[in-house]
Amino acid sequence: MTKCSVSRRAALGRLTLSAVLAFAPRLALARQASPAEANGPATPFSIDILRETARRLAQAAYVAPRPGPDSLKGISYDDYFKIRFRPDHALWREQNHPFRAEFFPPAYLYPQPVEINEVADGLARPIDFSPAMFDIPGEHAASAEDMGGFSGFRLQWPLNRDDKLDEIAVFQGASYFRSLGRGQYYGLSARGLAIGAGEPAEEFPVFTRFWLERPIPGFDRVIVHALMESRSCAGAYSFTIRPGPVVTFDVEASIFPRVAMDRAGIAAQSSMFLFKVGESPPSDDFRTAVHDSDGLSIWTGSGERIWRPLQNPKAHQISRFEDENPRGFGLMQRSRSVEDYGDLQARYDLRPSLWVEPLEPWGKGAVHLAELATTRESDDNIAVFWRPEKPWAAGSRVDLRYRLHWGAEAFGSAGARVFRTRTGADAQAGARMFSIDFSGQPLAGPLDGVELEVAAPGGEVDWQTLAPYPAAQSARASFGLKPEATKIELSARLVRGGAPISETWRYLWTG
């Protein structure tokens, strides 16, 4: 069984790469301090040209990317994070706009060079690579001349302070990319496309070429284009990135299947969930909880709000939430107090949520949630994506449009939301006890007329209660379950006068 992603991207506490490197000792190579330049031969570029490139690739036999260089092969985790890109070589450093681009070396988990171009006035030029752009530990400096290219890049913008540049996006490794909101640390990642995520023989499409559009002074956005290649398909992607308290990516993609594709995962996300409040950690751990995301939120096409708490299961499990034209979904981090975690380095309370907003009808399909068992917080063991009901036909073209919101939870429900789930043995009743804490404006007054609805197909609900919670606008719903099957999809919600006033809590119990 494959993992949902490569091993995590991660410095201690998942600090941003720039924060880690700020403390790293380094040995600078001799160089001139000049910004990155795109000096190669110019070629016309447009999104139509990119789509045509992807279409032609899909009509030909797949050719795997060339192997990465041997120069930094086997470099350690610690030494990789000592390699520092020099800010005085940043792309756009001398231009009159607040965006900058910096680059990563091909090493460690990212040995594969990718082609990166700058686009200006409809012309694309490759960005020149030079090892002089990097400060490299002394023992590896001599071999740096053979690195041969970049493995990815990061975009910067004054996200938190007007006088300081911060990372707003990183593209590195397969088709992975990530962002974060104001005042946050990196956490979960997004993917251009997932193929069989969480299933046997998962396929990892790769962004092999990028085009960075030179920002226009006075504009609030930067645009990135990418060519995606894999055995099953090729694709053309455009990302319009708008920074702010919540950073948004408008994604437009055209995918050209080489073969019939019935395992495609659209708007895929990868995250980590080890344990939460009220659960025993898998090893001796001083912290209260460890996770980048604590639940899956879905806004269905019919308007229902669903909350599914994440689990670190004993065995791999996949859940499907069938829908038609979903309004949105995403992995959320709702626990926002540092005391929810007790970790002053990792600061899991500052990890972003990621919400997917379709910009056109997606038809019938299902949100898929894959949860893999793990004992390490360095593993991405959670994957979420949309899979269409109808497979994509070989030789077809699939166009997608959606918006990603990185930051605080977006599109919050007007109803009561789940903020904590607990479960344990009810020894007195010989049942399994569940308690669900709700909070929101519909619970501002007395609970008169509010009822708890619980469904447990494959089990018996032995008892249930609803009581005020000692916090404003909150209540605790509890029930006892006597299982009659080894796997039960539980659901619960609050209603008043027969109408729901809360999210629908969904939980997969396995015996």
What does the longest C-alpha to C-alpha distance in the chain come to? 77
Residue 8 has pLDDT above 60, yes or no: no
Name the band, by pLDDT with cuts 50, 70 and 90, for residue 23: very low
Q: What is the mean pLDDT of residues 100-114?
A: 91
Greater confidence, 368 or 143? 368
Residue 443 has a pLDDT of 97
Q: What is the pLDDT of residues 457-492, one digit of tens each?
A: 999 999 999 999 999 999 999 999 999 999 999 999
Residue 145 has a pLDDT of 66
Residue 473 has a pLDDT of 96
Residue 94 has pLDDT above 60, yes or no: yes
Question: Cα separation of 437 and 417, whole Å?
Answer: 8
Residue 28 has pLDDT above 80, yes or no: no
Name the band, by pLDDT with cuts 50, 70 and 90, for residue 34: low
Residue 30 has a pLDDT of 32
Greater confidence, 156 or 7? 156
Q: What is the mean pLDDT of residues 236-252?
A: 98
Question: Cα separation of 203 and 258, whole Å?
Answer: 14
Instruction: Out of 80-94, 365-379, 397-411, give the one with best mean pLDDT.
Output: 365-379
- Residue 355's Cβ-side half-sphere holds a number of Cα atoms within 13 Å equal to 21
How do 206-213 and 115-120 pair as beta strands?
Answer: parallel
What is residue 87's three-state secondary structure? helix
Domains for the chain: give ranges and CATH numbers.
37-62+77-407 (2.70.98.10), 417-510 (2.60.40.10)
Question: Cα separation of 27 and 457, whole Å?
Answer: 63
Q: What is the pLDDT of residues 219-233, one digit of tens each?
A: 999 999 999 999 999
Residue 79 has a pLDDT of 84
Greater confidence, 9 or 144? 144
Residue 9 has a pLDDT of 37
Strand partners, 157: 166
Beta strands in 1-151 (DSSP E): 43-44, 84-85, 100-104, 115-120, 123-126, 134-135
Q: What is the mean pLDDT of residues 391-395?
A: 98
Residue 1 has pLDDT above 50, yes or no: no
Question: Cα separation of 502 and 307, whole Å?
Answer: 10
The encoded tokens of residue 250 equal: 């408008």
The values of phi and psi at residue 10, to 5°, are -145, 115
Percent of the chain, pLDDT > 90?
78
pTM of the model: 0.92
Residue 90 has pLDDT above 80, yes or no: yes
Greater confidence, 489 or 13? 489
Residue 81 has a pLDDT of 84
The encoded tokens of residue 273 equal: 């969930």
Q: What is the pLDDT of residues 421-448, one digit of tens each?
A: 999 998 887 899 999 999 999 999 999 9
Q: What is the pLDDT of residues 443-464, one digit of tens each?
A: 999 999 999 999 999 999 999 9
Q: What is the pLDDT of residues 128-155, one digit of tens each?
A: 888 889 988 776 666 666 777 899 999 9
On average, the pLDDT of the chain sits at 90
Residue 6 has pLDDT above 50, yes or no: no
The values of phi and psi at residue 152, to 5°, are 165, -170
- Cβ neighbours of residue 37 under 8 Å, at least 6 residues apart? 91, 127, 128
- Cβ neighbours of residue 395 under 8 Å, at least 6 residues apart? 58, 59, 256, 257
C-beta separation of 296 from 332 below 8 A: yes
Residue 13 has pLDDT above 70, yes or no: no
8-22, 224-238, 257-271, 318-332: which has the minimum mean pLDDT?
A: 8-22
- Cβ neighbours of residue 463 under 8 Å, at least 6 residues apart? 429, 431, 479, 480
Report the b/e string of 118-155 with b at 16+ CB within 10 A: bbeeeebbbbebbbbbbbbbeebbebbeebebbbbbbb
Question: Cα separation of 404 and 329, whole Å?
Answer: 10
